Structures are given as C-alpha cells and as structure tokens.
Structure 1
Amino acid sequence: MKQYKNIILSTVSAGLVLGFAACTNSYEEYNQNPYGVSKEEMQRDAYSLGAAMVNLQSWVVPTDVNTNQFTECLCGGSYSGYISDSNAGFAGKNFAQYSPENGWSRVLFKDIIPKLFIYFNEVKGATDNPVPLAVANVVQVAGIHRVTDAYGPIPYSKVGVNGDITAAYDSQKEVYTRLFQKLDEAVKTLTANRTANFSPKADKVYGGNVEKWIKFANSLRLRLAVRISKADPATAKQQAEAAVNHEVGVMTGNDDNAFMTLSSTNPFEVIMYEYNGGDSRVGADITSYMNGYNDPRRAAMFTKSTFANGTNGYYGLRSGIQIPGGEIAHAYSNYNVKTDTKLLWMNAAEVAFLRAEGALKGWNMGDKAGNFYAKGVKLSFEQWGVSGAEKYLADAASTPALYNDPVGNNSYSGKTSTVTIAWNDGDALERQLERVITQKWLAMFPLGLEAWADYRRTGYPLLMPVKVNNSGGIVNTERGARRLAYPQEERTNNLDNYNAAVGMLGGADNMATDVWWAK
C-alpha cells in the first residue's frame, strides 16, 4: 500500500497517531486468511509459520514506518550523530533537544515489547520444528536487547503470552543473563541441525539458511558481550570467546550480513524523502568525520547538499538545534536510500570491530586488534561498493573536520576528535579504542540505537553538543541523553512494578541516569 501518513502533523499528537496502523511494510496482513484454507493446508505450504516469523522479524528494526521513525530516526538517529530532525514542527518535543513527548519516548517500550512476544508465541503455535523455533528465539533477542539498552530494567521474563507488559520488571543484568541463555540454547539447537534449512517463506533475512543464523546468533552474542564488558567483565569475556570460537563462528564476510528484505518501501526512504519533503536529514556529525577523512564511502551513503548559495558538498544537519523552517533544512545532505534498499540488522564489519575491541581487552578473538580493525574497514568499503580501502587505511594524517554550517547558523569550533585512520600498535590503549569505535560507527550506519549504546559505553565518537537543551537542567549537555524515561502509563497502570524498576535502575527515572552497563 502506498498511502503514506504524515504522522506528526502539528495539530495531531504523536501518541494518537501511534494508535493507527501504519501502511508501509507492515507484515501483519499475513495474519488474514482471505481464502478460508484449512490449518493443514496452511501448514503444508508454510503459510502459518511464514506469517508469524516474518511478523516477528519485522519488529527488530521496525519495518512499520511510524514506529521506525520514532525508534531509528528521531531517537537513535539523533543520539548517534547519524540523523537529524528537519521538520521545524518537532521543536520543543523531540529527542534531540532532550524533551520528547510521552508519545515519542514510549514507542520502543509499549510497541516493540508486546509485538516481540505476540509474534514469538505465534511462531511457537505454528510449528514444533526446533529449527525455526530456535531462530525465533534469536530474532526476539535481537529485538529485545535494543529495548533494554534504551531503558534499563524492563518487563521480560514475566511478560504474558499475549504480550501483556503490565508485569514485573527484570533488572538489566537479569535480562542480559536470559538473553545469553537464549542465544546459547538456540546455537546448540541450530548447530545440531546445521543442514536442516527451512522454508524461505518464513525468513526475510537469510532465506531459511541455518548456518547463516548460527553466525548471526554468535555475532549477536559477541555484540552483547562487548556491551557489558565494563559492568561484568568475566561474563563478557566468557560469552565473547564462546561466540568467536564456536565451530561455525561469527560473521566474517558480507555474504553473512543480516539484511531484511522488505515487501514494500524501505521506511527510511519514506521518512527522509516523502514526509513533508523529508522529516529527517543526515547528521552533521557523521558527514564532518567523513569529510575530514575524505572518505570515499560518502557518495554511496549520502546525497550532496543543494543550497542555493552554491556551497554544496556533503553537509549534514546539526542535531539539537533550533530546526530551520521552510526548505532550508531540506537542502542538507540526505541518506542515499532507495525504495528497495534492504534493512540492516548487523553487518560483518561491525563484527570485525567487536573482535578488535575484544582483542584490546586481551580476549581470545583469533587475531590482533589491528588486523581486525583493517578487516572491518575493508568489509565496510566492500559492502558499500567502494574502492580505495588500502589507501584510506594508510592515512595517518587526516582527522575529522570541524563543522562549517553552509547556512552559517550552527557551525561548531569546539572540542573535536583528533583521531586519525591508520592503525598504530604503539598508540595508547584508549587511543586505539577511539579509533576502533570511530570506524565501527562509520560502518554501522544507519543503526543509530547501536551507535548510541557505544557512545554511552565508551564516549566515542566525540559528538557535537546540542545547542538547545530543553531538559530543564536534567540532562548534561556534554554527556547527552543516557536512557529514555519509562512511559507515563507505567505509573498509572503498573505502579508497584514501576517503583521496583526505578529501584533497580539506581537513579531517577529520567534521561540522565545511566543504564547498568554504562555506569
């Protein structure tokens, strides 16, 4: 269906709009049974399993345009330096200025958690085949970790079969313990059935290829292990080494990348081009880094700006500013996304950088940090179809550029990174970590929630501070938002459990309190 709705009109609250079903890329039409076929017939052609599994997959990185806008662009995009708001109507109620309306900040919690449980249980009801059931566990982990990483403690182990989240919360450490258990069990099942590929109708990511799912599950395990490496270093090391040294292992090439094939338009394309001429633009942070590095990936990733004054190139829009009105905001560079662009979950480049960081920590990752670092850069260049990786990796002089706003209102001349590209084994450990995270950040675009997690965990990459901080002094401008506040509905409908969760959080329920792994 090609009827796109502008979900954030100034006269309609975002919370109300979320009550309506989005048209684009919603796989829930699979749940309809227009032909009245029997259960046996549906199972015979994998229709039931396909409906449930594809619905489940569509809520990891949401394919629903409305949901995707809040989670990937307005929240993850703003806090990662990837994407900025270009709709002046968002002023005063957005993530970037640390003042999101409840209708904005509730989405990851109230929309994603129930869907991940409802469709997971539909998969369980559609098959007793252990292979797709194990895959469903991996998919649910891939989605739920993004939620706990945004809020901290969440309802998880006590969530109802029907997705009812009016339930007790688990601490974030408990959530992570369960996520690792699920991945471990899934990998064991899939490894024992590694040649038992299942119907591609039930898999929009790997077409039913079991070995690809094993690699993704192990890679996801590595991602989560690195994330908790400061909070629980012993568990992190054990989980990371188990993932990398497994007999099938982790992603190593771009043919392992987890991309979801969409049945309709890529949601980023709708948000960044069709809503009001584009509700978002590429962020100034990522274009400034790549301009300073003269990064050849820019032409594949971004469009050039279109300012009437002729000052054009790769100029992103700074986040957390007074959003310019009219067409000025739309003249900045945009994401070079097409209608049929697949939706990224995780790529092999990220995995190489995760292994590089693990090697810096002294973990057994299979090679030296510098070699994994180089591999990550090369994989990213290959993914974007760009040459010149060797020359880029040899550059020991270029540093990120200061941001010069073509309009002149939001330039930045403050503290910026001095990190170069070329690897140096003699550099201090912290310098090497910044280099790894910086290139990982460039390679993970547009996974904003992942980049935000790395920023909170490591402080890298160095991002420009916001100019408009509407948090009332709660959020430190230099540190930025550390988490999302719980939905207001939790205080009304789940008060006792909410209060217990705030106790687990160890701080106030606001955007300045660190989650467990970032403390």
Structure 2
Amino acid sequence: MNKIIKYTLASFIAISLANCTSNFEDINTDPNGISNESLTQMNNHIGGSFTPMFLNVFNVTPAWNFQLQQNLIGDVYSGYMTPPTPFAGNVNNMTYSLVDGWNGFPWADAYGSVMPFALDIKNAVELGGDPAGEKFVHLSNIVRVSAMHRVSDIYGPIRYAKFDDFATTGEYDSQRDAYNAFFVELGAAIDALKAFEGDSQFIPFDMSSLGGDIAMWRTYANSLRLRLAMRVVNVDATLAKTEGEKALASDAGLLEATDMYINTGFAHPLTVISGAWGDIRMGAEMESILEGFDDGRKEVYFQPAEDPTLNGAYKGIRMGVEIEAKGQYGAHSALGSVIEGETIQWMSAAEVYFLRAEAALRGWSGSGTAQANYEEGVKASFAQHGVGGVDVYLADNTSTPNDFVDALNAVNDIAYQGDVKIAYDAAGTNEEQLEQIITQKWIAMFPDGQEAWSEFRRTGYPRIFPVVVNNSGGTIDTDVQIRRINFVQNELNTNGDNVEIAKGYLNGPDTGGTRLWWDIEGSNF
C-alpha cells in the first residue's frame, strides 16, 4: 500500500493558521469587508475551531490517514474487516507485529486537531467575557470526549485533564482518571446546556446530524455517558451504575430515533480503501455471523464476492493468516452501500438500545427490560439500513453462527466457539443473555470497528477468531488476543519522562498484550 505515508503536516498547518492571526486586524483591515468585531459577534472566532475537531474524531481525508487511525487497528481487531493485502511482507498489525509508523496516527490526529482546538475555544470564550459563550465550551468538551475516549481505549493512559496548562500539558492521566474526567465533563455539559436549549448560535458550526439543536446535543452527551458507564462496569461496578443511572434518569433523554453522524463533505474513506485500493474486505467473523443468521444487513454491509468460484457468496478473510499476494483474497467481499455518502457515524440509536438492554440485565434503575430493549435495538438497526423482515428475524430461535471455512486454505478453517441465537432467551444465564446483546450490538455498530473492538475486549463477545500467524515475539498471547496499542514513538522521543510515568499506570509492560484498566479477565458478572 504505497498510499500510506508516515507523517502528515495538515493538522499542524491548521494549528499554525489558527494561531498566526493575532495581528491580522492591525495589518490587514478591510473597511469595506467584515471586521473582526463582526466576526466575533457572529461567534466565528469560536465556531471555526469546531471544524477540525469534527473532522478528526475520525480523520476522513486523506483516506490513508483514516486507514492508519482506524482501519488497520479497530476495524481489523474487531472482526469486521481484514485486508487481502500482505503489507510489509505480511509482518504487520494483522499478524501482531505492531507497526509504530502506522499506530501513532490516532494519537497525532487527536493531539494535532482535537485537543488544541478545544483549548482554543475555551480561551476564546474566556477572553470574550460573554457568559453565553459557555455553551461552546461544553459543546467542544462533548466532542473532545467523543474523540479522546477512543484514544484512551487504544493506548490506555492519555494526556487529558492537565493538557490545558502549559506547565503540565505533557503529563498523563491514568485511564481511570481520564474516564473520571470524561464523566465530569459530560455531566457538566448535560446540566449547563439545558439553559441554552432553543439557542441557535451553534447551528452554523454544527457538522452533525443534530443540526445545532442544543437539546439534541444534550441527548447525545447523555447517550455517550451511558456508553462510557458500561465500558467500566467490570472494573468499577459502583461508578458504572452511578453514571449509568444518571444517564437513564436524565431529562436530556437518550438517542431513540436519531443516529449521531457527521456530515464531512468528503466521501467515506472506506469507499477508497475498499473500492479504489482494494485494501480491505469482509472479516471472517462477519461472514460466520451474518451468513449463519441469514441476516439481511449483509447485503448493505458488503458486496458478493467477485471470485466466480464463490458463486456470488458473501465471503470473508480470517485475520492473521498467511497471505502471499493481494490477488489471493482480493476478490472476496468488498464493503457495500453502508459506506456510500459523506457521513461518518459516531453513535446509532440501535447502540443505545443495546446499552439499555445490558443496563436492564444488570438491574440498573430506569432501564426497562432487557428483552424489550434488545428487540428495539435490532429493529432500529434494520430500520437504519432499510432492511425488511425484522419480525421474522427476531423470532428465529434456531440459527447460529457458521463455522468459518477458508476458500483457499483449509489450515485457516475454524469452528465458531458458541451457539448464540437471535430470538431473545430471557431464561438464559446472564452471560448467555449478554452474549446475545453484544453480538447484535456488534452487528449494529458496523462499520465502527474501534468501538466494536473495545466491546469485544470488555465482554469477550462476539467470539473473535485468534490469528494463525503471530509475529509478536511472545508479547501478545494468540488466544487472549491483542488488548491495546503501545505508546506512540514520537511521544517516547519528545516526552519520554512523562511516558515512563504513564507506563507505570498500565497493568503490565508497554505491549499489545497488556490489558487496559477497564479490561478485566473473567466473568462479566
């Protein structure tokens, strides 16, 4: 893949442009144009900083940046997708030889184009002195939590709570402290933004499906709070329940009929990666589950294989197998119409229903019943993708995931280690019900592999196949699978003392085999 470039200057150029205009008014005032005072009155001095934040939670352009930020980490480790391309002679992320030159991009995008611009908004509001500007700080905090929990879920400790102070900007928070900061900021935003419901000043700057509606931003923030509450349930059940029940009881509500996505103005990068480059294909787990369930969403998520010997089947590739050349598996199933258009999904209503289903299973107040939420989640996902037959699907109590059969090499064949079904079994054990919830949640969150990988690490569901080729040198256990990405090389080079402190926050060495703070081995109950 010659499209992958080691470094990008775009975000740093944007920062420079944002910070080099302090004398602009004195040097370049146009008496016939729009003055800086007028720009300030329209909040453009604040609103412009939202654009790079929106475009870097997922970096959508150039496509190779997204490939390194998201696709060759979360998308492949989730079981959603696998490259047919033997990058670096098949010694790469997929075979657990972690490529530092690739894996720094989630960090670079966040610290180049999210965190600095959130600070710019905060500083601009403070300098402006208008109390109404507070709403922009809370909105930017919601966006940065959306971005930074993903970064933390890749690496673990991050630079967050002390970032805004120059004297401490290089210091790391443990993942526990970072998550506590996320909860504080989301709670503050949900409470404070209530006073601004109906305010229209954010409309010109909002690139999301929420259209600048402050009430809907409260709803999204509250839904995000529920996601993060569930993320920590195995490591801190009390914190999880407290934050989860706040979300369930909040007057902000939860996403039910609206999906949260960003209108980027660019084609989805997966259309390039899958289509023009042919660098990503259906994952083996997607084939096993969607084909085993005869799930109609497969026709939206993927295309039939182009290999004529496969007779139009939907065919995936197991991650971490021996691939000698791109032509071997390149004619397997490419991605489908789900990636058409210029939007990137941050959270779906379906995901929120599955969060509520798990909350009910765990006995959290205000969550309803697990089965009702589960079924509403499946219905929301089918509706989102325009797929029919949901009632018949939900009544299916016999179908189970297929075993995976490699079309080219029987060495890669593997049985699916479970018999999870579609029709909800309220009489099943908690683990059995959770597997149903998370399996359907995993299907519904496609194509956001980062979130799916996080949920697999948290719960163990669905049952992701282990790699066949493990080039980690023993740092990642084949059966336990990869749990995180090691700290960024550029940070080690430029902020080494603080990185050494951050390593002490881990549950083990700075390798891909060390579990994150919330990633607890054993039962989910």
Q: TM-score, normalised by structure 2?
A: 0.90
Q: Does the 8 Å contact 2:158/2:173 carry over to 1?
A: yes
Q: Does the 8 Å contact 1:412/1:464 carry over to 2?
A: no
In the TM superposition, 1:304-315 aligns within 5 A as 304-315=304-315
Unaligned runs of 5+ in 2: 22-27, 521-525
Name the structure 1 match of 2:49: 52
Name the structure 1 match of 2:3: 7
Shift of 1:119: 1.3
Shift of 1:181: 0.4
Q: Does the 8 Å contact 1:48/1:126 carry over to 2?
A: yes
1:42-76 C-alpha deviation (Å, 9 max, x unpaired) = 33555433321121111112223233111221000
Name the structure 1 match of 2:24: none
Q: Distance in 1 between matches of 2:165 and 2:305?
A: 48
Closer, same or farther in 2 for the Cα pair 1:19/1:451, shift >3 Å? same
Q: Distance in 2 between matches of 1:515 and 1:192?
A: 37
Shift of 1:288: 1.5
Unaligned runs of 5+ in 1: 9-13
1:295-328 C-alpha deviation (Å, 9 max, x unpaired) = 0111111111110324331112221112352433
Q: Does the 8 Å contact 1:490/1:498 carry over to 2?
A: yes
In the TM superposition, 1:120-519 aligns within 5 A as 120-127=118-125, 128=130, 129-160=133-164, 167-205=170-208, 206-253=210-257, 256-274=258-276, 277-337=277-337, 338-408=339-409, 411-519=412-520
Q: Does the 8 Å contact 2:405/2:412 carry over to 1?
A: yes
Q: Distance in 1 between matches of 2:139 and 2:159?
A: 22
Q: Does the 8 Å contact 1:317/1:329 carry over to 2?
A: yes
Q: Distance in 1 between matches of 2:95 and 2:335?
A: 22
Instruction: For 1:169, give the aligned amino acid.
Output: Y
Name the structure 1 match of 2:10: 21
Shift of 1:279: 1.5
Specify the SS of the correspondent of 1:141.
Answer: helix
Shift of 1:200: 2.6
1:193-222 C-alpha deviation (Å, 9 max, x unpaired) = 222133432111122111111111000000
What is the percent sequence identity of the aligned residues?
34
Name the structure 1 match of 2:523: none
Q: Does the 8 Å contact 1:60/1:143 carry over to 2?
A: yes
Instruction: For 1:117, give the aligned amino acid.
Output: M
**How many pairs are equivalent?**
500
Q: Distance in 1 between matches of 2:329 and 2:173?
A: 42
Specify the SS of the correspondent of 1:285.
Answer: helix
Shift of 1:131: 2.0
How well do the aligned residues superpose, as a CA RMSD in angstroms?
2.4
Specify the SS of the correspondent of 2:94.
Answer: coil
Moved more, 347-356 or 127-136: 127-136
Shift of 1:348: 0.7
Specify the SS of the correspondent of 2:220.
Answer: helix
1:338-358 C-alpha deviation (Å, 9 max, x unpaired) = 552410100011011011111
Shift of 1:21: 3.5
Moved more, 138-147 or 165-174: 165-174
Closer, same or farther in 2 for the Cα pair 1:324/1:216, shift >3 Å? farther
Instruction: For 1:456, give the aligned amino acid.
Output: R
Shift of 1:37: 4.9
Q: Which of 98, 122, 127 is matched with 1:100 structurally? A: 98
Name the structure 2 match of 1:43: 40
1:82-109 C-alpha deviation (Å, 9 max, x unpaired) = 1111222344442221112211122222
Q: Distance in 1 between matches of 2:380 and 2:14?
A: 31
Shift of 1:77: 0.9
Instruction: For 1:510, give the aligned amino acid.
Output: T
